[in-house]
Amino acid sequence: MLEIGLTGGIGSGKTRVADMFAERGAALIDTDLLAHEITAPGGAAIAPLVEAFGPRCLRSDGAMDRDAMRALVFSDPSAKTRLEGITHPLIRQLTEARAAAIRSAGQHPYLIYVVPLLVESGTWRARVGRVLVVDCQEETQVARVIGRNGFTRDQVLAIMHKQATRAARLAVADDVIDNDGPPEALAPQVARLDALYRGLSASQAGA
């Protein structure tokens, strides 16, 4: 089975693109959703997070307080290292378990991992057969995130500056979807790549 890593900067539209591939039959594993799973009330990361950061890292419902942790890691690089040391191994374990189940079931033509920090992690390029980047102008990202999340421009830029640059993402891309245009421009691009991925996956199966 062909395995693809899908990435893009904040506001690029990678979630919408991933959902369009899923509508065509692709299997999806979204590492951001797994991160939410392990930091939900009772999640696998909660106890080690409290041990590392104290109860200030939790909301009243027992989930990780993402806003508080975001503010902390922006102000303290060592906190970012400690946070990632807890969450990244757990996310990887879950990712590998879900991928093994998908491969075993054999019900999908190919598998897409949605990985916002694919470039930054440094290991994903070797773990997938192809990298797909959802790309748009940086000003498009800013406008979308302001409209979607209500962040200020400075807040959006601060997040973007913590991510890989647009050029760095494009440098590792095997495939690119341009999401600067209207929503209807996505479907033909997804259809073309769906056909490509099905063909490559079938070739792998027959090899």
Residue with tokens 């991933």: 18
Using the predicted structure, report yes or no on whether residue 82 has a pLDDT greater than 80.
Answer: yes
Using the predicted structure, report yes or no on whether residue 206 has a pLDDT greater than 70.
Answer: no
Q: What is the pTM of this model?
A: 0.89
**Which residues line the annotated binding site for ATP?**
11-16
Q: What domains are there in the chain, each with its CATH number?
A: 1-26+110-206 (3.40.50.300), 33-107 (no CATH)
Reduce the secondary structure of 88-132 to three states and give it as a string. Answer: HHHHHHHHHHHHHHHHHHCCCCEEEEECCCHHHHCCHHHHCCEEE
Strand 27-30 with 2-7, pairing: unpaired
In tens, the pLDDT along 161-201 reads 888 999 999 999 999 999 998 889 999 999 999 999 999 99
**Which residues line the annotated binding site?**
11-16
In tens, the pLDDT along 26-76 reads 999 999 999 999 999 999 999 999 999 999 899 999 999 998 998 888 888
| DSSP assigned state of 164 | P
